Amino acid sequence: MPSHTVVLLPGDGVGPEVAHEARLVIELVAPDVALEERLIGAAAIRAAGDPLPEETLAACRGASAVLKGPVGDPEFDAADVRPEQGLLRLRGALDAYANLRPAVQGDVDVLIVRELVGGLYFGASGVRDDGTVFDTCEYHPDQVARVVRRAFALARARRGALTSIDKANVLETSRMWRRVVNEIAPEFPEVGVEHMLVDNAAMQLATTPDQFDVIVTENMFGDILSDLAAAVTGGLGLAPSASLSDSGPGIFEPVHGSAPDIAGRGVANPTAMLRSVALMLEHGIGRPEEAQAVVRAVEHAIATVPTPDLGGSAGTVAFGAAVREQLALTAA
Ligand code: NAD
Ligand code: IPM
Ligand code: MN
Q: Is 166 in the pocket of ligand 2 (CB under 6 A)?
A: no
Q: Whose C-alpha lies nearest to ligand 1, atom 17?
A: 237
What are the structural domains, with CATH classification, of the chain?
1-96+245-332 (3.40.718.10), 102-238 (3.40.718.10)
Query: Which neighbouring-strand residues pair with 34?
Result: 5
- Which residue among the candidates 167, 210, 213, 309 is catalytic per the annotation? 167
- How do residues 84-130 score in pLDDT, each as one tens digit? 999 999 999 999 999 999 999 999 999 999 999 999 999 999 999 99
- How do residues 207-254 score in pLDDT, each as one tens digit? 999 999 999 999 999 999 999 999 999 999 999 999 999 999 999 999
| Cβ neighbours around 331 below 10 Å, total | 11
State the pLDDT confidence band at 1, using cuts at 50, 70 and 90.
confident
Q: Whose C-alpha lies nearest to ligand 2, atom 9?
A: 255
Predicted structure pTM score: 0.98
The residues near 67 (Cβ < 8 Å, ≥ 6 apart) are: 6, 7, 8, 9, 19, 22, 26, 252, 253, 276, 277, 280
For residue 227, indicate whether it is catalytic: yes
Give the Å distance between the CA of 209 and the centre of ligand 3: 19
pLDDT of residue 94: 98
CA distance 18 to 324: 14
For residue 68, indicate whether it is catalytic: no
Q: Whose C-alpha lies nearest to ligand 2, atom 4?
A: 223
- DSSP one-letter code for 76: G
Q: DSSP letters of 185-219? A: GGG-TTSEEEEEEHHHHHHHHHH-GGG-SEEEE-H
Q: Whose C-alpha lies nearest to ligand 2, atom 11?
A: 223
* Helix (H/G/I), strand (E/B), else coil: 298: helix
The average pLDDT across 48-68 equals: 98
For residue 73, indicate whether it is catalytic: no
pLDDT of residue 331: 80
Return the sign of the alpha-carbon dihedral for residues 286, 253, 119, 197: positive
For residue 77, indicate whether it is catalytic: no
Give the Å distance between the CA of 158 and the centre of ligand 2: 26
Give the Å distance between the CA of 254 and the centre of ligand 3: 9
Q: Is 273 in the pocket of ligand 1 (CB under 6 A)?
A: no
Ligand closest to Cα of 256 equals 1
The pLDDT > 90 percentage for the chain reads 98
Strands 192-197 and 4-9: unpaired
CA distance 16 to 281: 20
Q: Whose C-alpha lies nearest to ligand 1, atom 36?
A: 257
pLDDT of residue 332: 65
Question: For the chain, where are the alpha helices, taking DSSP H only?
Answer: 15-29, 42-48, 54-61, 83-93, 141-156, 172-184, 198-207, 219-231, 271-279, 288-304, 316-331
Atom number in ligand 1 closest to CA 269: 19
The average pLDDT across 128-143 equals: 98
Q: Is 65 left (phi over 0), alpha (psi -120 to 50) or beta?
A: beta
Q: Is 260 in the pocket of ligand 1 (CB under 6 A)?
A: yes
Q: Is 223 in the pocket of ligand 2 (CB under 6 A)?
A: yes
Ligand closest to Cα of 243 equals 2
For residue 167, indicate whether it is catalytic: yes
Mean predicted lDDT score pLDDT of the chain = 98
Instruction: Give per-residue burial for 59-84: e unless 16+ CB within 10 Å, then b.
Output: bbeebbbbbbbbbbbeebeeeeebbb
Ligand closest to Cα of 41 equals 1
Per 3-state DSSP, the chain is made up of helix, strand and coil in percentages (nearest 5) of 50, 20, 35
